């Protein structure tokens, strides 16, 4: 049978149409989920810390390092941004062994590691030469413990300290001795370090200016353990008081051996010998010693610091960790103020800082020294270093007098920053 071509074409078209109508269309693909952009990765900002982490005064170095670690941990927990970027602060610790040569080596290591700032060193003998290395690299450093005036007399714009100077501390302890012991003859001994000798020089200068007879200087080293030859020499000259410039590791044996030789003079020390460890090293001989610290008592540091330190390290701070804590916080605050971690950009903000920290208000003078730094006089009482008086503005104040002087007006109390240091108080019994 023959069908017209036109009719056949229409039939095929109709069949195709019917097949198409009967076929199910596939569902449209699901919309693509929008992947959120990845969170920006924190920019790492390295902060160096240097102190003696081994040797006889490693307890000081570790205490100072703990202060820096706590400060940077708190800064990281706060989620700080600099230059619009989240920042993670990383502490780079180094051990200078209280040795100037080692100090210079680790200072260069920190420069090579491209740290943005340095907290340290502890000893003036390491801080002074190392400061030249940091200055040459344009890296700011803040010492929380070095007291020799030479540190900030070099004219380096990036060198600071948050404690007082020996030409403040020396007169403070010397004048306290004059007022309380009223000595006629004083023996002065030092450990031949930049710190010990420098502080002893300031004490001797003040005593001589007051007309006191000062015996010819005796010396040891920062590792001397046997002081009997020196002590036997001064015993025959019957001093009323003895001052030793050095750290507790050598001061403790000195005091213990002096009492064994029946030397009854009043013994006095600077901040290096102003620790509870003196009771451990000298035993009962430590009772009644007099010493000074270039700052407020550790017990008077801010509550946030004291509680945070105890919680993190399960121990109490020794002496200068509140100051290294503040030093690290100052670096962070200056970076925030300048909105940059570049040392050249944040250094002007650091030099002009006005900061209420764990150790009180901190501002720097044109040399990099802390303005109006307090000094504290202590004694050893029942095995604990106990504050006796605060020296401020050349005046000796009792703790109550200082508390009244430092107390804010009631209206200002509510607005006081949480980290502002309260007035010094007697230490809590441990």
Q: Report whether pLDDT(331) > 70.
A: yes
pLDDT of the residue at 24? 56
Q: Report whether pLDDT(68) > 60.
A: yes
Q: What average pLDDT does range 344-348 have in this prediction?
A: 98
Mean pLDDT of the chain: 88
pLDDT of the residue at 173? 94
Q: Report whether pLDDT(304) > 90.
A: yes
Q: Report whether pLDDT(333) > 50.
A: yes
Instruction: List, for residues 137-146, the tens digit of each pLDDT value.
Output: 999 999 999 9
Torsion-angle region of residue 302: left (phi > 0), alpha (psi -120 to 50) or beta? beta
Q: What average pLDDT does range 71-94 have in this prediction?
A: 97
Q: Report whether pLDDT(10) > 60.
A: no
Measured CA to CA, the distance from residue 321 to residue 63 in angstroms comes to 6
- Note the Cα 60 to chain centre separation in Å: 11
Q: Report whether pLDDT(12) > 80.
A: no
Domain boundaries, given as residue ranges, for the chain: 43-163+300-371, 167-293
Contact 280, 178 (CB under 8 A): no
Q: Report whether pLDDT(422) > 50.
A: no
In angstroms, what CA-CA distances link 31 with 27, 28, 37? 12, 9, 18
Higher pLDDT: 419 or 355? It is 355
- Nearest in space to 145 (alpha carbons), one of 271, 45, 289: 271
Q: What average pLDDT does range 287-296 have in this prediction?
A: 94
pLDDT of the residue at 419? 40
Q: What average pLDDT does range 358-382 have in this prediction?
A: 94
CATH code, residues 167-293: 3.40.50.2300
pLDDT of the residue at 426? 34
Instruction: List, for residues 174-230, the tens digit of each pLDDT value.
Output: 999 999 999 999 999 999 999 999 999 999 999 999 999 999 999 999 999 999 999
Homologous superfamily of 43-163+300-371: Response regulator (3.40.50.2300)
Measured CA to CA, the distance from residue 116 to residue 87 in angstroms comes to 13
pLDDT of the residue at 5? 47
pLDDT of the residue at 33? 62
Q: Report whether pLDDT(324) > 90.
A: yes
Six-digit token string for 384: 């604990």
pTM, rounded to two decimals: 0.81
Residue 424 binned pLDDT confidence (cut-offs 50, 70, 90): very low
Domains 43-163+300-371 and 167-293 fall in the same CATH topology: yes
pLDDT of the residue at 300? 85
Higher pLDDT: 22 or 68? It is 68
pLDDT of the residue at 402? 63
Q: What average pLDDT does range 317-323 have in this prediction?
A: 95
Six-digit token string for 430: 């441990």
Instruction: List, for residues 109-166, the tens digit of each pLDDT value.
Output: 999 999 999 999 999 999 999 999 999 999 999 999 999 999 999 999 999 999 999 9
pLDDT of the residue at 41? 84
pLDDT of the residue at 284? 96
Torsion-angle region of residue 383: left (phi > 0), alpha (psi -120 to 50) or beta? left
Instruction: List, for residues 223-277, the tens digit of each pLDDT value.
Output: 999 999 999 999 999 999 999 999 999 999 999 999 999 999 999 999 999 999 9
pLDDT of the residue at 403? 60
Give the angle 266-270-271 at the CA atoms, nearest 5°. Answer: 130
pLDDT of the residue at 395? 72
Instruction: List, for residues 395-405, the tens digit of each pLDDT value.
Output: 777 767 766 66
Q: What average pLDDT does range 354-380 have in this prediction?
A: 95
In angstroms, what CA-CA distances link 380 with 46, 88, 183? 39, 42, 20
């Amino acid at each position: 049978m023959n069908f017209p071509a036109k009719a056949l074409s229409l039939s095929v078209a109709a069949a195709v149409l019917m097949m198409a109508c009967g076929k199910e269309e596939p569902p449209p693909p699901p919309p693509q989920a929008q992947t959120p952009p990845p969170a920006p990765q924190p920019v790492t900002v390295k902060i160096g810390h240097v102190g003696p982490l081994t040797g006889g005064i490693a307890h000081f170095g570790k205490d100072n390092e703990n202060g820096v670690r706590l400060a940077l941990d708190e800064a990281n927990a706060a989620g700080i941004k600099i230059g619009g970027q989240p920042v993670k602060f990383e502490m780079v610790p180094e051990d200078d062994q209280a040795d100037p040569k080692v100090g210079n080596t680790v200072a260069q290591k920190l420069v090579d590691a491209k740290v943005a700032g340095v907290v340290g060193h502890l000893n003036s003998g390491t801080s002074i030469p190392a400061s030249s290395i940091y200055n040459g690299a344009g890296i700011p450093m803040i010492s929380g413990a070095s007291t020799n005036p030479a540190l900030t007399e070099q004219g380096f714009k990036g060198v600071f300290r948050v404690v007082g100077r020996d030409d403040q501390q020396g007169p403070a302890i010397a004048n306290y001795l004059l007022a309380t012991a009223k000595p006629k003859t004083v023996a002065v001994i030092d450990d031949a370090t930049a710190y010990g000798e420098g502080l002893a020089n300031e004490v001797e200068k003040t005593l001589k200016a007051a007309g006191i007879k000062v015996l010819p200087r005796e010396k040891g080293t920062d590792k001397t353990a046997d002081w009997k030859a020196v002590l036997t020499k001064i015993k025959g000259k019957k001093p009323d008081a003895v001052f030793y410039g050095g750290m507790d590791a050598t001061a403790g044996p000195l005091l213990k051996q002096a009492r064994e030789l029946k030397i009854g003079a009043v013994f006095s020390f600077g901040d290096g010998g102003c620790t509870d460890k003196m009771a451990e090293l000298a035993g009962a001989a430590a009772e009644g010693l007099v010493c000074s610290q270039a700052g407020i008592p550790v017990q008077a540091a801010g509550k946030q610091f004291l509680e945070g330190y105890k919680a993190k390290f399960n121990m109490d701070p020794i002496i200068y960790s509140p100051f290294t804590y503040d030093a690290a916080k100052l670096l962070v605050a200056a970076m925030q103020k300048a909105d940059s971690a570049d040392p050249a950009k944040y250094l002007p903000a650091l030099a002009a800082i006005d900061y209420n920290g764990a150790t009180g208000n901190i501002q720097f003078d044109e040399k990099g020294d802390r303005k109006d730094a307090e000094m504290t006089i202590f004694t050893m009482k029942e095995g604990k270093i106990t504050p006796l008086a605060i020296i401020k503005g050349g005046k000796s104040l009792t703790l109550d007098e200082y508390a009244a002087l430092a107390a804010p007006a009631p209206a200002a109390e509510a607005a006081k920053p949480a980290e502002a240091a309260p007035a010094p108080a007697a230490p809590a019994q441990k």
